[in-house]
């Protein structure tokens, strides 16, 4: 099906794609992505046992998948995300943002979490474009999935190694090696951003 020049998968195509990609390994990737997202966007250090105010990453992942399995639910835009896993990750980002935004607004008067906090601004399209450009350059240089996952929290936001280790279950030694590999790629990323006319 084509909608506004975008190829949209049928419900049957979505169901088949979920059966193919929704493996235990991909679930683990989604969980790690969500934990990193909570930190980089909301500065929330997620507790795997307690969640965040009763909000569990597992529930947000389930909500994301279920939304694709409902008639008239989430779409898969095949020309934008040929790999359905990327569409799921994009949808998960939306679920996280919507869920946390409602929770934080609901408790604003009590916790004052949003007061003068530029990190909580959701008008971040330019930042997303910049991050996407960095990811594309990393991919072109053969970056691993972990390097792509950790680039934003570890390199851009300078999240502490011990915190990442606790959140993602990655050893400090492995995190150090990942950072070294990314650092070797940074000069090439900076040159690419200059070509794309992005400011430092």
Q: Check residue 126 and give its pLDDT.
A: 67
Give the whole-angstrom CA distance, residue 61 versus residue 194: 37
Give the whole-angstrom CA distance, residue 162 versus residue 94: 28
Whether pTM > 0.75 for this model: the answer is no
Calculate the average pLDDT of the chain: 83
Of 142, 145, 179, 143, whose CA–CA distance to 159 is shortest? 179
Of 108, 38, 165, 137, whose CA–CA distance to 46 is shortest? 38
Give the whole-angstrom CA distance, residue 48 versus residue 56: 8
pLDDT higher for 159 or 65? 65
Domains contained in the chain, CATH given: 1-113 (no CATH), 123-200 (1.10.10)
Map residue 3 onto helix, strand or coil.
Answer: strand
Task: Indicate the pLDDT class of residue 118, thresholds 50, 70 and 90.
Answer: very low
Helix, strand and coil percent figures for the chain, each rounded to 5? 65, 5, 30
Give the whole-angstrom CA distance, residue 18 versus residue 80: 17
């Amino acid at each position: 099906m084509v909608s506004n020049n975008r190829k949209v998968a049928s419900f049957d195509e979505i169901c088949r794609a979920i059966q193919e990609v929704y493996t235990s390994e991909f679930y683990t990737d989604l969980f790690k992505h969500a934990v990193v997202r909570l930190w980089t966007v909301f500065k929330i250090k997620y507790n795997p046992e307690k969640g965040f105010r009763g909000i569990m990453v597992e529930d947000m992942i389930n909500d994301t998948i279920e939304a694709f399995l409902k008639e008239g639910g989430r779409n898969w835009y095949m020309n934008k995300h040929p790999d359905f896993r990327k569409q799921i990750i994009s949808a998960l980002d939306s679920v996280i943002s919507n869920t946390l935004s409602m929770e934080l607004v609901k408790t604003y008067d009590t916790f004052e979490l949003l007061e003068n906090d530029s990190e909580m601004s959701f008008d971040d399209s330019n930042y997303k474009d910049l991050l996407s450009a960095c990811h594309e350059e990393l991919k072109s240089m053969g970056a691993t999935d972990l390097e792509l996952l950790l680039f934003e929290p570890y390199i851009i936001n300078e999240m502490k190694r011990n915190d990442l280790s606790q959140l993602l279950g990655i050893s400090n030694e492995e995190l150090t090696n990942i950072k070294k590999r990314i650092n070797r790629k940074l000069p090439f990323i900076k040159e690419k951003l200059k070509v794309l006319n992005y400011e430092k």
